[in-house]
Amino acid sequence: MSTPFQGQLHAVHVMGTTSGAHVSSLAGGLVARGVAVTVCGPPAAEADYAFSGTGARFVPLDIGRRAAAATDAPAVAALRAVFSGAGIVHAHGLRAGLLAAIALGGRSTPLVLTWHGGAPAEHDGAGRAALLRWLERRAVRGATVVLGVCAELVDRARHLGAKDVRLAPAAVPRPVAPPPRLPGDGERHTHKTRAEFGAIDRPLLLAVGRLEAHKGYDLLLDAAAHWTGLEPPPLVAVAGEGSRRAALEKRIEAEQLPVVLLGRRDDVPELLAAADLVVLPSRWEARPLIAQEALHAGVPLIATAVGGTPELVGDAAALVPYGDAAALARAVVTLLADPGRRTALSVAGRAQAATWPTEDDTVAQVLSVYDELTQV
């Protein structure tokens, strides 16, 4: 299949507000293997993920979060222009996939859709669920190949009528470890980080993720209320921003909960190094990044047993049912009281992380799909 890129395969990646780390990793790997890559994404994504630094071309295009496509004629028109000469289009997320399919129209250009996550429709409220079901169905049916990052999404795509669905766990860059320090400096730095949050003489729990309803922070606050009577009570530090911030702050203050909202942070490796436990209270996850970062770093993880999380962590984390604040609180208290179990989870976490696909594995799998779909 010829392209105007000097005989190179030209792959256009379309992304929304998530999956930037994966797209950046994938773009760099594909460019290194001789593929010309264009990334279409929100303007701020270039500053966050430096797509141009991978050798890819970046085209700012904010497709937003709305499910309906009728209001996105400008985005569709912009995509049509970028798709000219593309050998393959690769969309990341359902909305990106739907708009890409509409923009391609009757073209023969193959469309690959990576379904990274976002709670399936049945996990949402009744009104929104109908709209999400429509989006899911239209997006997966419009793709030539759907790559699901966990088994639940693969099964879901098949049920919705996708033509070709494959399991493709998406590797993302491992968090950059803090730079080496002189003997004793690591301990001093950890002490400084804990002091920032007032957790010198108390356990420090870390949660990372957008402050949105599906991330389960209300459940985490419910659990925190269970251990306010402990002496000293564990402190929960939450790194992330989102639409729920004001509501969470109001509740933390009203109930005097041992929780601090840190806002957006770019020092997650340092936060992990200072934390005793990582807590992931989400309503649904596919392949949660913070779980991967925690296990790579050897920090014990407590997570809700939802979506692809059990598949990702295996026996290397403590899992609790979603919605059971008492169970989450018990898991935290039990693990904090058992240093041997924490050490075992730390070792098991690193071992589990070693079994995951690497960035090279992910690039190789995607490139094999491209080769298959672009054979004349």
Q: Which structural domain, as residue segments, surrounds residue 327?
A: 185-353
Residue carrying structure tokens 């590797």: 171
- Retrieve residue 253's tokens: 């203050």
- What average pLDDT does the segment 366-370 reach? 97
Interhelix angle 339-353/325-336, rounded to 10 degrees, is 100
53-81 pLDDT, tens per residue?
A: 999 999 999 876 554 444 588 899 999 99
The predicted model scores a pTM of: 0.87
Report the distance separating Cα 145 and Cα 372, nearest Å. Answer: 11
DSSP string, 202-249: S-EEEEES--SGGGTHHHHHHHHHHTTTSSSPPEEEEEB--TTHHHHH
pLDDT of 241 over the 90 cut: yes
351-360 pLDDT, tens per residue?
A: 999 999 999 9
- What average pLDDT does the segment 184-190 reach? 63
- The answer to whether 243 and 212 are in contact (CB under 8 A) is yes
What are the CA-CA distances from residue 100 to residues 1, 195, 222 (Å)? 20, 48, 41
**Is 238 in the same domain as 333?**
yes
**Is 142 in the same domain as 235?**
no
Q: How confident is the model at residue 134 (pLDDT cuts 50, 70, 90)?
A: confident
Decide if 316 is inside a domain. yes
Q: One-letter amino acid identity for 202?
A: R
Give the pLDDT confidence score for residue 66 in this predicted structure: 53
**Is 143 in the same domain as 220?**
no
Mean pLDDT for the chain overall? 89
Report the distance separating Cα 166 and Cα 150, nearest Å. Answer: 10
- Retrieve residue 144's tokens: 């030539």
Q: Is the dihedral of CA 208, 209, 210, 214 positive or negative?
A: negative
- What average pLDDT does the segment 249-272 reach? 95
**Is 277 in the same domain as 337?**
yes
CATH at residue 285: 3.40.50.2000
Report the distance separating Cα 100 and Cα 80, nearest Å. Answer: 8
Give the pLDDT confidence score for residue 200 in this predicted structure: 86
